[in-house]
Amino acid sequence: MPPSQVRSSGKARLIRAALQARARAVAPYSKFQVGAALLTSRGKIISGANVESVSYGLTCCAERIALFKALTAGKRKFTALAIVARVAGGPMPCGACRQLLSEYAPAATIWVADSARSKTIREFTVQELLPGAFLSLSNDLA
Ligand code: THU
């Protein structure tokens, strides 16, 4: 299989995992269900969905649920993240998720799709989503 087909089937597989995760979203307030699936450098998929609280600010996005699951399972290198929701063009990750992706998945390709048209996939780099990210506490200019 040529590399382009390997890549595109990996993309379809990751989007499928995000769609499956979305079905388990806990979003009784917004009803906006989001699914996310991370691909590790070893080919493992770890997925998550958004979880909402009646105290709205405690809600956690699908992307961070997937990332926190993966990190606390010992995963450290990620090559891609798929995100799906029923919104035209697919859901763009919020600012908080962009920060965490910049820190823990800077090399991941981000694939975003509308769950109702999941073959149309938009692609971003983490650097495109959050240019100039805050990444270090160091003051050392050397
Ligand atoms: N949400 C996500 O899970 N990911 C995003 O990229 C944007 C927003 C969730 C949070 C909340 O449960 C619902 O979508 C509405 O904001």
pLDDT beneath 50: ranges in the chain: 1, 4
87 lines ligand 1 (CB under 6 A): no
* CA angle centred on 29, ends 36 and 25, rounded to 5°: 25
pLDDT at residue number 138: 86
Tell me the whole-structure pTM to 2 decimals: 0.93
Other CB atoms closer than 10 Å to residue 19's CB: what's the count?
Answer: 17
Residue 15 alpha carbon to ligand 1 centre in Å: 17
Taking the C-alpha atoms of residue 33 and residue 21, their distance in angstroms, rounded to an integer, is 9
Domains of the chain: 3-127 (3.40.140.10)
Residue nearest atom 9 of ligand 1, based on CA coordinates: 61
Q: Which residues pair with 110 in a beta bridge?
A: 81, 124
Taking the C-alpha atoms of residue 50 and residue 89, their distance in angstroms, rounded to an integer, is 19
- Tokens 């100039």 correspond to what residue? 132
Residue nearest atom 1 of ligand 1, based on CA coordinates: 61
pLDDT at residue number 1: 46
29 lines ligand 1 (CB under 6 A): no
